[in-house]
Amino acid sequence: MITSVKNPKVQRMRALQSRARERRAENAFVVEGVRLAEEALASGWPVRQTFYTRELDQRGQSILAALQVAGVAAEEISAEVMEACSDTKTPQGILLEVERRVAAMPASPGLVLILDGVSDPGNVGTLLRSAAAAGADAAVLAPGSADPFGPKVLRSGMGALFRLAVLELDWEHIRSLFAEHGLQAFIAEANRGIPFDQVDLTQKLAFIVGGETQGPSPAALASGAQPVHIPMPGQIESLNAATAGSLLLFEAVRQRRAAA
């Protein structure tokens, strides 16, 4: 059993939890908790090592057994070490170091979500979750967006990262996607453009959702995307990025179901 937070394996796990630079350098990230561990296991993403505590529940024990059958190194750690490694207040007793995969854009995407400088991890995770739930083909994170492999994004995304092609691209490559795949791009703006429910969303398209405070970036505005807005008869100036993006995605779902 590992009982010291100074253990090199523990230090590595803590660094992967806390620093995006470390995750990129090591090409790995940490999955925490039973639910996300189940998602990682079902997805087939390579797991490099596992930490667990003896208090792990039956679901967690089943995950641990499957990982051990697959030859994944599993280390029992003390509750104190788990608390030091965890990004949550109440750890569930299991941490997985997972090898990061580089996603590819599907051959013929019909619905793509683009996050334009969405820096809040909770909003990024929620948008990825909504994109996966809406059946989007991919989500693209433009510069300035939160790391999709960070712990808060993973938790709020509820495993969406394992079910959706998630790419990190600059605007030059994003613009080339529009032409390459014949995607009509729409950009969400407050009080500008056509109401979102009056646009044909049954075509191949990409939605651009800007950051929480700055709104769309100059690069996004210069992309040639058509502005759309969400009418708000109440006394609120704007919606947050996660809410706006989710509404756009599911309006596309509604229209496509109606047209089917």
Predicted structure pTM score: 0.94
**Both 132 and 251 in a single domain?**
yes
Answer yes or no: is 3 within a domain: no
**Residue 80: CATH number of its domain:** 3.30.1330.30
Answer yes or no: is 253 within a domain: yes
- Other residues' Cβ atoms within 10 Å of the Cβ of residue 254: 12
**Both 119 and 194 in a single domain?**
yes
- Residues with Cβ within 8 Å of 29's Cβ and at least 6 positions away in sequence, in order, are 16, 23, 97, 98, 100, 149, 150, 154
Asked which of 44, 78, 99 is the last residue of a domain, the reply is: 99
Range of the domain at 225: 111-259
* Structural domain total, the chain: 2
Report residue 162's pLDDT band, with 50, 70 and 90 as the boundaries: very high
User: Nearest-5° angle of CA 188, CA 176, CA 249?
Assistant: 30
**Residue 131: CATH number of its domain:** 3.40.1280.10
pLDDT in tens, 87-115: 988 899 999 999 998 889 999 999 999 99
pLDDT in tens, 221-245: 999 999 999 998 887 777 899 999 9
Answer yes or no: is 1 within a domain: no
Average pLDDT, the chain: 94
**Both 210 and 118 in a single domain?**
yes
Q: Which helix (H) or strand (E) holds 59?
A: helix 58-69
